[in-house]
Structure 1
Amino acid sequence: MAAYVIFTRESTQDPAALDAYRSKVRATFDGHAHKVLAAYGTQQVLEGDAAEATVILEFPSVEAARAWYDSEAYQAVAQHRLAGSRHRVVLVEGL
C-alpha cells in the first residue's frame, strides 16, 4: 500500500542551510523507490495558515518511506533542513 511523506515548510531561519539541504537531498533517494508528486508549486490556501512550501513524496509502502527517512544518508542531510527551517513532516498511509 502506498505511503506519502508530506513536508510543509512553516518558516525559514537560515537560507544558506536550506540551500545546503536542497543541493544534497536528491542523492539520498538512490536505492529508494519514490515519486515526487508535488514540490514547491503554487499554493492556494483554502483553510488555515499559508505554508512557505510543500513537498509530497510517494513511496511503495510505509516501510519504504521509513527506510528512506531513517537512512543514514537522509538523516545526515536533514540536519541542514532542521538548522535552516521549521517544518512539519507527516507520513500518511494510503488507501
Structure 2
Amino acid sequence: MTAYMIFTRESTQDQAALDAYRSKVRDTFDGYTHKVLAANGTQQVLEGDPAEATVVLEFPSLTAARAWYDSDAYQQVAQHRLKGSRHRVVLIEGL
C-alpha cells in the first residue's frame, strides 16, 4: 500500500548545514522508487503555526519508505538536516 513521508521544517538553525543537506539528498534516492509530490511550494496555513517549508514524498509502501529513510546513504546526509534545522517527519500509510 502506498505510503507518504512528510517533512515539515519548523525552523532553521544553521543555513550552511541545511544547504549541504539540499545539495546531497537527491543522490540518496538512487535505487528507491519514489515521487516528490510537493516541495517547498506556496503554503496556505489554515490552522496552527506556519512551517518554513514542507516536502511530501510518495513511496510504494511503508517498507520501501523506511528502506530509503534508514539507508546508510540517507542517514549520512540527514545529519546535515538535523544540524541545520528542526523538522517534523511523519510516515503515513495511504488508503
**TM class by shorter-chain length?**
over 0.9
AA aligned opposite 1:37: L
The yes-or-no answer on 1:48 pairing with 2:48 is: yes
Structure 1 residue 21 displacement after superposition: 0.1
Instruction: Note the alpha carbon deviations across 1:5-24, whole angstroms, 9 max, x for none.
Output: 00000000000000000000
Structure 1 residue 57 displacement after superposition: 0.1
Find the aligned partners of 1:49 and 1:25 in 2 and give their Cα distance: 26
Q: What TM-score does the superposition give when structure 1 sets the normalisation length?
A: 1.00
The yes-or-no answer on 1:79 pairing with 2:42 is: no
1:1-95 superposed matches below 5 A: 1-95=1-95
Unaligned 5+ segments in structure 2 are none
Q: Helix, strand or coil for the counterpart of 2:31? A: coil
Structure 1 residue 76 displacement after superposition: 0.1
Find the aligned partners of 1:24 and 1:5 in 2 and give their Cα distance: 18
Give the paired residue count: 95
AA aligned opposite 1:25: V
Instruction: Note the alpha carbon deviations across 1:41-92, whole angstroms, 9 max, x for none.
Output: 0000000000000000000000000000000000000000000000000000
Q: What TM-score does the superposition give when structure 2 sets the normalisation length?
A: 1.00
**Structure 1 runs of 4+ off > 4 angstroms?**
none
Q: Helix, strand or coil for the counterpart of 1:90? A: strand
AA aligned opposite 1:40: N
